[in-house]
Amino acid sequence: MSLVDAVSWGSTPRVALGVEYLGSQYCGWQFQRHGISVQQVLEQALARVADRPIKVHCAGRTDAGVHAIGQVVHFETPVERPERAWTLGVNANLPDDVAVRWARPVAADFHARFSALARHYRYLILRRPVRSALWHQRALWTHRSLAIAPMREAAAALVGRHDFTSYRALACQAKSPVRTLHYLDLAERGALLELSVGADGFLHHMVRNLVGVLLAIGRGDRPVNWAAELLALKDRARGGVTAPAHGLYLMRVDYPDAFALPADRKPLTAEPDDEGLAVI
């Protein structure tokens, strides 16, 4: 018997959700005293459907302004609700910039954060002489030209298992700075430059710091070997500028196949439109 057959609606108190959101209007994923968080509005919507308080646990705590297409959360509740209640019902109680994409009953040992095998992010950079109204707070705009070849060369030197101290926030609380970067790719889609990165885990501000270093290299402000030199220094104080949050998207979180999460949980592929701007 597969996990899908063994775990069904009403047979488990634990449910996983796929969530997408635009982070522009939120103080981040996690509850904050000074503003509204994505976690807050999601838990409020879930509580209305469950008719009782709900506490959710996420795969990755995104910062203020960061977006998500493939965030995963789980929660426990003793009430029985059909899948439509956890998707359409919850969405009816959410603001327009937050939505549940799918819901799935999961085994008791599933944890959105600790069961994850890898996380995948994308950072979007809009390259054109004038700013865009449509991409405001959805991509980093730069009017300066970027040399892509040295950026790709520098990115390649960062792939693998390394100590990423130079690429994490000074306030990062992770016990170890060692992570395995599976890939760091750059793709040109018309006016957009997409930086895609996947790893077994990320440190606080790690992706934005990687982007900041690659941007400095692409602009010619730093040599191509600067990325590797920073890696070897293991000193955040010597690192580059942290790229703004609004270009960053949590795209996907990978889990063991045994948890049988929906096959369609992967995000839509970005395709260039007539202007060469990718549609997410």
16-50 burial: b if 16+ Cβ within 10 Å, else e: bbbbbbbbebbbbbeeeeeeebbbbbbbebbbebb
Whole-number Å distance between alpha carbons of 141 and 144? 9
Helix H or strand E segment including 266: none
Give Cβ neighbours of residue 193 (< 8 Å, ≥ 6 apart). 124, 125, 126, 127, 146, 148, 186, 187
Question: Residue 64 has what DSSP assignment?
Answer: T
How far is it, in rounded angstroms, from Cα 91 to Cα 103? 12
Tell me, yes or no, if 109 is annotated catalytic.
no
Largest CA distance in the chain: 58
Give the whole-angstrom CA distance, residue 84 versus residue 74.
16
Q: Which residue has the tokens 């060469």?
A: 276
Distance of alpha carbon 92 from alpha carbon 106, whole angstroms: 23
- Per annotation, catalytic residue among 63, 97, 185, 200: 63
Rounded Cα–Cα distance for residues 164 and 201 (Å): 11
Determine phi and psi for 32, rounding to 5 degrees.
-135, 150
Point out the residues that are catalytic.
63
